[in-house]
Chains A and B, each alone.
Chain A
């Protein structure tokens, strides 16, 4: 069965520092990959997605992620954290021709001034 692992349930960075949120998946074929962000008392908002083509994907709010097939990873990065980036981030995977989106357990990002 497909699974998604997000290493680190909590990540803390200083404002202006690099943000790195890790996501690894298990799949026998290249899946579709997504990162979502959830702010308090809100639903999930799509940050970016990988379906095919270029492996470095740029999303909203300055985030990007790179699909690395050899490492089965899709880590999320942002060069410089902003206070407004504090939220919970979810990695999700879907296998082609299935009807399920499998979510990781989430990583809560804290940004300190």
Chain B
């Protein structure tokens, strides 16, 4: 595998389910990100991890819970979601945080989440 991979690619869940999204980067990067992409809205940054420590949490509801067990893996645990949480969830990684010269982000293909 190369680049940034995400599983599953599609997920349908009920409002009472618990599920997890997985992201893995094979680039040796130090920072990882979760974004939410909804139709007709700008890309929303949810969480930022640098060297496995969370450095940013953009007022995301607690029904979204990130986990970064090591610098290559990032999870997004989901529970009691709402229909408005349906979106494309994108994972990204970068060598440095965004404000550094190596801050360009490499994105995975995303997980298309539908909450019924």
Residues of A within 8 A of B (CB): 32, 34, 36, 41-46, 49, 51-52, 90, 94-101, 103-106
Contact partners of A36 in chain B: CB under 8 A: 107
Question: B48 to A99, Cβ gap below 8 A?
Answer: yes
Number of B interface residues at 8 Å Cβ cutoff, please give it: 27
Number of inter-chain CB pairs below 8 Å: 66
Residues of B within 8 A of A (CB): 4, 6, 31, 41-43, 45, 48, 50, 55-56, 90, 92, 97-101, 103-110, 112
Question: B90 to A100, Cβ gap below 8 A?
Answer: no
| Residue in A45, A90, A101, A104 whose beta carbon sits within 8 Å of that of B103 in the complex | A101
Closest A-B pairs by Cβ, 7 of them: A43-B107, A98-B99, A94-B98, A101-B98, A99-B97, A103-B43, A44-B107
Main secondary structure of the interface of A (DSSP, over half): loop
Question: A43 to B56, Cβ gap below 8 A?
Answer: no
Q: Provided the pairs A32-B103, A97-B99 are in contact, do residues A103 and B109 lie with their beta carbons within 8 angstroms?
A: no
